Amino acid sequence: MPSLIPLGPKWSHLSPAKFIVSASDTRFDRQIRFAAMGEQGQARLQSARVLLVGTGALGGVLAQNLVRAGVGELILCDRDIVELSNLPRQVLFEDRHAAAKIPKATAALETLARIGGPTKLRAEACHVDAENLPELADGVQLVLDGTDNLATRYLINDWCVAEDTPWVYGGVVGSGGLVLPILPGQSACLRCIFPDPPPAGSLPTCDSAGVIAPAVGTIASMQAGAALRILSSARGKGTAESPTHAPGMTPKLLQIDVWTGSLLTVDATRRPGCPTCDEGNFEFLHAAATRDPVVLCGRNTVQISGGPTKPDLGAIAQRSAAFADDVQNLGVLLRITDSGIVLTLFPDGRALVEGTDEVDRARALYDRYLGA
Ligand SMILES: [Zn+2]
């Protein structure tokens, strides 16, 4: 078959080995040619570590953008498992992941690893809370919000402002959503704009209002654009570079709707009296990590946190076989079916109870099998 690009004598001397090196060198050629990024920006990006909280809808697009761009290290956290209803918009997952009901963080890592490139990937199938966030975010240059709940976002905001680390908020429901890059000390934090979390159940969710993939892709792409700019820009502390995050960047709150085509931009200036970035009150970070059950958005599922000791999954599998409808010991997970409800138990004692949104019912089932 003739090549579309004529290879004249100039190229014929190249050995295959040299071609491989050359191909490797060109991976990031187009984004290095983008003047605002350049070689220096690419080098900064490739030395950066990023924490991504949530690898589903927004998180999947974010992760793919960052890995394809060549970020140095990406830590993937997600507490959930892959479901069939995720597939229309959660780009890292496939039918086989949903059929096997594997943790989203694990499935995300598998898909991202196949892209190749220099990014070091780490998957953590865990619920991010005030107890484990400092360890998960240790040494990161940026935190990305791919979560589906406000409690985690207020926690991320506290940690990032306290640690002077940028983060990018994103939220999507129906056909639109919000994006807000947050540069601590320079621009509004989450609580400058939304001082307190609204009462539970007062906002539409993907459960009540649904969600479509173009809205997810648009919001996540705006987040990813901000992320690339922050990571490829000078990061001041401890360097001889500009002592600011992302010099020249003026974060704004964006509200986008892909159905109506509307776009609203609101200045994101810091608010005097903000409890977090003005008064240094990090109440979400300093609150004891809650062990209360959590009803997951749109999943007819309740999450129960584990206790201080890790369970013996093998022993529970043996004991449960006598009275459960079905027990599957998958090594890293234990799946128990009881009266149409499926309990997925993780090694840290955390469980997802699928088939109910009643906290008491889920808690009772958990206690039945863990003997708590
Ligand atoms: Zn603030």
Cβ-based neighbour number of residue 156 at 10 Å: 27
Q: Residue type at 189?
A: C
CA 253 to chain centre: 20
Give the structural domain span for 275. 29-286
Q: Per the structure block, which two tokens stand in for 76?
A: 């993937």
Domain membership flag for residue 3: no
Q: Are 92 and 108 in contact (CB under 8 A)?
A: yes
Across-strand partners of 49? 73
Q: Are residues 308 and 212 in the same domain?
A: no
Domain membership flag for residue 19: no
* Domains held by the chain: number: 2
Domain membership flag for residue 37: yes
Q: Are residues 239 and 350 in the same domain?
A: no
Which residues, 6 or more positions from 322, have their beta carbon under 8 angstroms from its beta carbon?
none
Domain membership flag for residue 24: no
Q: Are residues 171 and 232 in the same domain?
A: yes
Q: Are residues 183 and 321 in the same domain?
A: no
Q: Are residues 132 and 59 in the same domain?
A: yes
Domain membership flag for residue 12: no
Which of 307, 311, 350, 331 has its CA nearest to residue 78?
350
The dihedral over CA atoms of 248, 67, 34, 237, expressed in degrees to the nearest 10, equals: 30
DSSP code for 290? P
Question: What was the pLDDT predicted at 308?
Answer: 67
Question: What was the pLDDT predicted at 4?
Answer: 42
Tell which of 232, 253, 286 closes a domain.
286
Distance of alpha carbon 143 from alpha carbon 66, whole angstroms: 12
- Residue 286, class by beta-carbon neighbours within 10 Å (0-12 exposed, 13-18 middle, 19+ buried)? exposed
Q: Are strands 294-296 and 301-304 parallel, antiparallel or unpaired?
A: antiparallel
Distance of CA 79 from the midpoint of ligand 1 (Å): 28
Across-strand partners of 342? 337, 354
pTM value is: 0.81
Distance of CA 315 from the midpoint of ligand 1 (Å): 48
Angle at the Cα of 147 from the Cα atoms of 143 and 152, rounded to 5 degrees:
75
Q: Tell me: the pLDDT tens digits for 249-261?
A: 999 999 999 999 9
Distance of CA 52 from the midpoint of ligand 1 (Å): 21
Q: Tell me: the pLDDT tens digits for 335-356?
A: 999 888 999 998 888 899 999 9
Distance of CA 188 from the midpoint of ligand 1 (Å): 5
Question: What was the pLDDT predicted at 320?
Answer: 86
Distance of CA 356 from the midpoint of ligand 1 (Å): 37
Q: Euclidean distance between the first and final Cα of the chain, in Å?
A: 68
Q: Are residues 154 and 302 in the same domain?
A: no
Question: What was the pLDDT predicted at 289?
Answer: 63
**What mean pLDDT value characterizes the chain?**
87
Concatenated DSSP letters of 29-75: HHHHHSTTTHHHHHHHHHT-EEEEE--SHHHHHHHHHHHHHT-SEEE
Q: Are residues 216 and 364 in the same domain?
A: no
Distance of CA 210 from the midpoint of ligand 1 (Å): 30
Q: Are residues 328 and 280 in the same domain?
A: no
Tell which of 226, 259, 286 closes a domain.
286
Question: What was the pLDDT predicted at 366?
Answer: 85
Mean pLDDT in order along the chain per 10 residues (372 residues)? 38 34 72 95 96 98 98 96 94 96 95 97 93 95 93 95 97 96 96 86 74 97 98 66 79 97 95 96 83 78 81 86 88 87 88 89 82 58
Distance of CA 267 from the midpoint of ligand 1 (Å): 13
Catalytic residues: 206
Question: What was the pLDDT predicted at 8?
Answer: 35
Domain membership flag for residue 22: no
CATH number at residue 342: 3.30.310.10
Domain membership flag for residue 1: no
Domain membership flag for residue 351: yes
Question: What was the pLDDT predicted at 242?
Answer: 52
Distance of CA 45 from the midpoint of ligand 1 (Å): 27
Q: Are residues 318 and 244 in the same domain?
A: no
Neighbouring residues of the ion ligand 1, judged by CB less than 5 Å: 189, 191-192, 274, 276-277
Distance of CA 258 from the midpoint of ligand 1 (Å): 29
CATH number at residue 124: 3.40.50.720
Question: What was the pLDDT predicted at 84?
Answer: 93
Tell which of 240, 269, 286 closes a domain.
286
Which of 163, 221, 167 has its CA nearest to residue 190?
167
Question: What was the pLDDT predicted at 358?
Answer: 86
Q: Per the structure block, which two tokens stand in for 64?
A: 């793919």
Q: Are residues 308 and 233 in the same domain?
A: no
Q: Are 253 and 178 in contact (CB under 8 A)?
A: yes
- Residue 280, class by beta-carbon neighbours within 10 Å (0-12 exposed, 13-18 middle, 19+ buried)? exposed
**Per-residue exposure over 224-243, b if at least 16 CB sit within 10 Å of its own CB, e if not:** bebbbbbbbbbbeeeeeeee
Which of 306, 370, 330, 363 has its CA nearest to residue 81?
330
Q: Are residues 218 and 343 in the same domain?
A: no
Distance of CA 191 from the midpoint of ligand 1 (Å): 5
Question: What was the pLDDT predicted at 333?
Answer: 87
Q: Are residues 128 and 163 in the same domain?
A: yes
Distance of CA 192 from the midpoint of ligand 1 (Å): 4
Alpha carbon distances (Å) from 170 to 22, 61, 143, 255: 37, 12, 11, 10
The dihedral over CA atoms of 226, 231, 234, 236, expressed in degrees to the nearest 10, equals: 100
